[in-house]
Structure formats: structure tokens, C-alpha cells
Amino acid sequence: MDCFDGDLFDPDADFDQWDRTRPHRHQSAAICFLTMRLKDSIPKSVILDWHRQRVDFLRRNGVHVDRDWKAGYLELSPDQQQQFDKRFSRQRETTLDSCLGACDLANPIASEVVAQSFAKFHGDRYWLGDFVIMPNHVHLLVAFRSNEIAKSQPGGWMRYTARQINQLTERTGSLWFPEPFDHLVRNEDQLEYLRAYIRDNPTKAHIEEGRFLYRASGGRF
């Protein structure tokens, strides 16, 4: 893969933020850690249980909420927020690594479609870094050239790959959960941690060879 280029996020510089588009925050050329998951990777029953657990935690710590646990979180003390984060921050990753759902991306035909889609506009619309395609989700590092590209490209990847995978594997129906998770990388230590996380994800999740696709960037790192 060609050299990956991108900048670390500068919270003191200008950036755009959107409520209904992912990435929800972007700064031109800033390196973004993006997670895209398949629609059936986390059942609705699991998400509802997560919500109940969070609401219960808040109530037991003196915060009374009904539905909006995120607003209640802000009423916690710093120590309570730290306890909350420690308990709940890894739920999504742990659940994804348990490989729930049909795991359509374990099919090498499907994973190669996704990899080729990522590579198509590398160096043009964005700079592509390390990525791993797991059976039911994808982690990648990417730096979009502009805020407009950041708003449109993840959806473009998902629409294109869904059509191709459905055609090539004779599956039907929606493939991706429509809202990726995103995080702008703030420092070199965090970048190295995320690179290692991407590299080691298959091993830690006990995914055998042939059911994942990992590619590292070159040059910058």
C-alpha cells in the first residue's frame, strides 16, 4: 500500500461537527479511526439491554433518567463518570468480536470487495491507513481530504459494497448498520495504539485465517 498521510486532530483549530452524519466531527486531513459494522452484528435486544444497564447505573448513583442516559451521564461526578466509562466503554467492541449475526464479511469474496472499495480513491479523496475486515465489522484509519468528503465517503463505501456483495454472493437485504463509529486521532501514542488494535483484533477475537483481511499502510508509520 502507498504511503499514508494525514494530520493529528487539533482541538484548538477549526473543525466541523454534524449530528446526523458520520463521522460526526471532522477536520480536513485529520486521521480518523472508523468502525463500520454489519446490520445484524449487534441484535436489538442487546442494545436495549445496554440501555437498561446504563439507566440502572445512573439511578443507583442518584441520577433519575427515563430514556436519555447520555444527558444523565453529564450529571455524574468525575469519579462516577470514570466508573461508568470503565464498565461500559468496551461493550460494543467485545460484542462485535463475539461474531454475532451471519458474518457475511468472513467470505473472502465480500472482504475483497470492501478492501478494493477502500483502495479505489486512496490518494485522491482520502489517504487510507491500516484496516482490518473482520467477519461482521471493519476498523480503518483514514484521513479525508475535506469535510464534504468525510460526510459522504463512508455512506458511499457502504452503498457500493452492499450492492456488489449482494450480487456476488447472492445474498439479499440490507448489509451495513448505517451509522459508523468514529474517533479523531489526537496524538502519536493514540495512533500507535489504534494501529496495534487493528493488527491484533483477529488474534484477540480468535478469528482464524481466511475469515479476516488485514492490510497495513506503508511509509508514514
Residue-level pLDDT at 10: 54
| Structural domain includes residue 173 | yes
Give the global pTM.
0.85
Question: Which residue segment(s) compose the domain that 65 sits in?
Answer: 44-97
DSSP-derived 3-state class of residue 66: coil
| Structural domain includes residue 221 | no
Shared domain for 64 and 157, answered yes or no, is: no
Residue-level pLDDT at 2: 45
* pLDDT profile of the chain (221 residues), mean per 10: 56 57 61 95 94 93 84 92 91 94 98 97 94 98 89 94 97 94 89 95 97 84 37
Beta bridge partners of 141: 33
Residue-level pLDDT at 120: 96
Residue 36 burial (CB count, 10 A): 25
Residue-level pLDDT at 3: 46
Cis peptide before 78 (omega within 30 of 0): no
The conformation of residue 32, written as its DSSP 8-state character, comes to: E
The conformation of residue 7, written as its DSSP 8-state character, comes to: B
Query: Measured between alpha carbons, how far is 200 from 1 in angstroms, rounded to an integer?
Result: 19
Shared domain for 154 and 169, answered yes or no, is: yes
Query: Measured between alpha carbons, how far is 113 from 111 in angstroms, rounded to an integer?
Result: 5
Shared domain for 191 and 89, answered yes or no, is: no
Residue-level pLDDT at 11: 62
Shared domain for 132 and 158, answered yes or no, is: yes
Give the type of residue at 106: A
Domain count, the chain: 2
Shared domain for 60 and 141, answered yes or no, is: no
Shared domain for 21 and 115, answered yes or no, is: yes
| Structural domain includes residue 1 | no
Shared domain for 125 and 84, answered yes or no, is: no
| Structural domain includes residue 128 | yes
Shared domain for 153 and 203, answered yes or no, is: yes
| Structural domain includes residue 69 | yes
Residue-level pLDDT at 221: 37
Residue-level pLDDT at 147: 83
DSSP-derived 3-state class of residue 201: helix
Residue-level pLDDT at 217: 87
124, burial (CB in 10 Å: exposed 0-12, middle 13-18, buried 19+): exposed
Shared domain for 22 and 120, answered yes or no, is: yes
pLDDT in tens, 118-167: 999 999 999 999 999 999 999 999 999 888 898 899 999 999 999 999 99
Shared domain for 75 and 112, answered yes or no, is: no
Q: Which of 97, 132, 163 is the C-terminal boundary of a domain?
A: 97
Residue carrying the nine cell digits 465517503: 153
69, burial (CB in 10 Å: exposed 0-12, middle 13-18, buried 19+): buried
Shared domain for 62 and 133, answered yes or no, is: no
Give the total residue count for the chain: 221
Shared domain for 205 and 182, answered yes or no, is: yes
